[in-house]
A and B are shown apart, each in its own frame.
Chain A
Amino acid sequence: MNIFRFLGDISHLSAIIILLLKIWKSRSCAGISGKSQLLFAIVFTTRYLDLFTNFISFYNTSMKVVYVASSYATVWMIYSKFKATYDGNHDTFRVEFLIVPTAILSFLVNHDFTPLEILWTFSIYLESVAILPQLFMVSKTGEAETITSHYLFALGIYRTLYLFNWIWRYQFEEFFDLIAIVAGLVQTVLYCDFFYLYITKVLKGKKLSLPA
């Protein structure tokens, strides 16, 4: 494992923990898109079905289990435990516009036409756009809490670091997976606008707010 891959995983894990702690400590999921979190739960579930079919390493298995469990915990907090604080009125992105096209695409463009492989491909495609309901919510309300901005930054930078990891692997292991690379590029591009705001505002101690 190279440094980019490792930092990417740590960043992803940090994002998940930041979000869990934010909701749990404040007893509120205000400003968080339940739809994005639901999509991430679907992403992890469909991607990590290989937990049952092959073992790679203790690290790999434990990270997968943590990702799946925490995504379900987050969904549970939003739609059940702290349901009263969930801002559903602003969480209006139509997720079928993400799920249906990515599902169709995973049947058309995949490495192998088998159930597990199609589900894995679907999860890669869906992950690349799963943050859109959250970004849509931020743009709709015109602001995000600072802690939510940190969450979004950690989540966005994780896939960016994976891009460097893939360059590394191509260079030194002659390994590359075009499906993951293209989806990773799309995912990173979607965050660019947010990265700009994060660097120019949040890192300078200001709250992330968009011009009206």
Chain B
Amino acid sequence: HAVHIAHDEL
């Protein structure tokens, strides 16, 4: 499933 990014990446 497509998960909205948690912005844990840079």
Contacts and interface: CB of A to CB of B under 8 A. Distances in A.
Contact of A175 (B3, B7, B10): B3
Contacts of B6: 56
A176 B4 CA distance: 8
A178 interface: yes
B2 A178 contact: yes
B8 A56 contact: yes
The secondary structure that dominates the B interface is loop
Interface residues of A, number: 23
Contact of B3 (A9, A12, A57, A176): A176
A67 interface: yes
Contacts of A111: 4-5
A154 to B, nearest CB: 14
B10 A120 contact: no
Contacts of B9: 5, 162, 165, 180
Given A63-B10, A64-B10, A180 B5 contact: yes
Nearest to A51: B7
Nearest to A1: B8
A81 to B, nearest CB: 27
Contacts of B7: 50, 54, 56, 120
Contact of A112 (B1, B2, B3, B4): B4
A96 interface: no
Contacts of B5: 111, 177, 179-180
B1 to A, nearest CB: 6
A112 B5 CA distance: 11
Contacts of B2: 176-178
A168 B8 CA distance: 15
Contact of B10 (A9, A176, A178, A179): A9
A126 to B, nearest CB: 15
Interface in A21-58: 50, 54, 56-57
A64 B7 CA distance: 11
| Ranked 9 nearest A-B pairs via Cβ | A177-B5, A111-B4, A175-B3, A56-B8, A50-B7, A63-B10, A9-B10, A176-B2, A174-B1
